[in-house]
Amino acid sequence: MFYGTAAVSTGLFLLTIIVIKDRPPVPPSQAQAVLSDSLPEDYSYKQSIFNLFKNKAFVFLQSHAHTPRLSAG
């Protein structure tokens, strides 16, 4: 059961990395159109995800937030 959940979660994560584009072809609003002009060209969604997993505090939090604990009672 846990392996199945891990496999589905991993599959969805990989699909997210592969399928989601960095930017939509047309900005959704005028404010986003102005904002996108000021963003650096090397900004990407994939790079943000990779940077997140390089962050030791984030990895520590994720590993400890999802480990089962014994109840005190």
Put simply, whether the predicted model's pTM sits higher than 0.75 gets the answer no
pLDDT of 49 higher than 80: yes
Could you list the residue range(s) of the whole structural domain that residue 56 is in?
2-65
pLDDT of res. 63: 82
Instruction: Give per-residue pLDDT as tens, 20-42.
Output: 877 777 878 887 777 666 666 66
Give Cβ neighbours of residue 27 (< 8 Å, ≥ 6 apart).
Answer: 33, 36
Give domain status of residue 73, yes or no. Answer: no
Give domain status of residue 72, yes or no. Answer: no
44 to each of 24, 34, 60, how far by Cα in Å?
12, 17, 24
Give domain status of residue 34, yes or no. Answer: yes
Give domain status of residue 8, yes or no. Answer: yes
Give domain status of residue 70, yes or no. Answer: no
Give domain status of residue 28, yes or no. Answer: yes
